[in-house]
Amino acid sequence: MINEFPIVSQTVSTSSFFFFTLSRNGRVIHLTFAQEKHRRACLFLQKSGAIVSSPPTELSRADLLTLLQRTPCLTEFSATTFIEQATSFQRRVWRLICEIGFGSTRTYGELAEMLGNKGLARAVGRACNANPIALFIPCHRVVGSAEIGGFSGGMEVKQKLLELEKVKPCRASPD
């Protein structure tokens, strides 16, 4: 079945980095910093409708800050293809990440402990990597105990996002 609303693919650039979005009917359904992840998402979605490219756009620093400051809510994305395909563990991790406020961080270990098992820190990291709507589920706010930790958009982008939020990226407390 072809959806009446085409899927719009767009590259968004800021003064520091760029990212890729897929949206339908004005709603973001996928956001990634990795071009290969964007390409795979486009291939997957081609089954459900046409994908049209939109001209690249520039996001101002003020608009990026507004996006980062909004309180994310996973429920507003729950009906999107990529959230529906997530495991229950991934959705639990993403809900916890959505609770991390602007300018704050949590370690992978802290989230694992909140899930009831501190040994799940690496699994939390894998859930972060699987995040289909980066920035809306602000996984850049999840850091290692002694270093910044990984990020699908790369360490430099994670660092820049944390700097925008005026966060010191590394924690001194043990995981």
CA dist., res. 70 & res. 72, Å (int): 6
For residue 20, give the DSSP letter: E
139 is catalytic: yes
Give the phi and the psi of residue 23 in degrees, each rounded to 5: -140, 155
CA dist., res. 109 & res. 112, Å (int): 5
CA dist., res. 152 & res. 30, Å (int): 13
Q: Which whole-number Å values give the CA distances from 22 to 49, 96, 129, 168, in the listed order?
A: 12, 24, 18, 31
**Residue of 42, 73, 98, 139 marked catalytic:** 139
User: Strand runs (DSSP E) across the chain, as ranges?
Assistant: 7-13, 18-24, 27-32, 51-53, 57-58, 106-107, 142-143
Q: What residues are labeled active site?
A: 139
